Amino acid sequence: MSSGKGGEPDPHHVDVPEPCFSRELLTLPRGKQLDPGAARAADAGLTYLAGELLDGAHNFWREEGAADGSAIQPRHVDAAFRSDAELRRLWAAWLVENPPASRSGDPSAQPSAAKPSSGPFDGVIDRLMESTDPTGTLAVSGPARGVVAELLAHLVRQLMNAAAEVSTRVNSDVIHREDVRGACRVLTTGELRLLADREIRETMPKAPPG
């Protein structure tokens, strides 16, 4: 907690952690603005959902017995959401646009089309991997980073467009925290929805004690 005057803790200060998904990554439809609280809510929801994706990829890498050394490959990322109904629904549109390179053999072993660079999402992937693999021994290969970056960009667009639609329905040009929360609930299902919503609720101001 920050110190107030005289070096005493400032009871009115709330430390806000650095976002994983910075404001610059939250692309908005034309004419929309993002309330600061909405940016924090979006970061919380996106961080949770993206973390689930990388956790799944990590699990598939581990099940293979680290056959490719200490790096997650595109097929591990593909398998993570293709094998999970809730994640698959979340990225359904991306799946239609990016089918596996081949349907022959084991589909989970076929990498999706990917760019070799994760660009602006490099920092996001690194932050998420710190939680997925605290030892720091597991890397994400270049091609796998490309796949993850495409998935994250798609997810950001989905969430921001849905939140913009919610705000438009109440005749507002500003996207608020509740708009983001509502959008996330629309995009997700089942346990994924419950846990993402919990993360977003954690960003909401706490009511003062009675």
Q: What is the mean pLDDT of the chain?
A: 83
Domain architecture of the chain: domains with CATH: 32-201 (1.10.20.10)
**pLDDT score, position 118:** 64
59: tokens are 């699990």
The radius of gyration of the chain from alpha carbons, rounded to an integer in Å, stands at 19
- 0.95 cut: is pTM over it? no
Q: What is the pLDDT of residues 62-97, one digit of tens each?
A: 888 765 578 999 999 999 988 999 999 999 988 888
Q: What is the pLDDT of residues 44-53, one digit of tens each?
A: 999 999 999 9
DSSP three-state, residue 3: strand
Residue found by looking up tokens 């597991």 in the block: 138
Distance of CA 190 to the CA centre of its chain: 17
pLDDT of 12 higher than 90: no
Instruction: Please tell me the distance from the alpha carbon of residue 99 to that of residue 3, in angstroms, as a whole number.
Output: 54
Window from 2-6, 55-59, 80-84, 97-101 with minimum mean pLDDT: 2-6
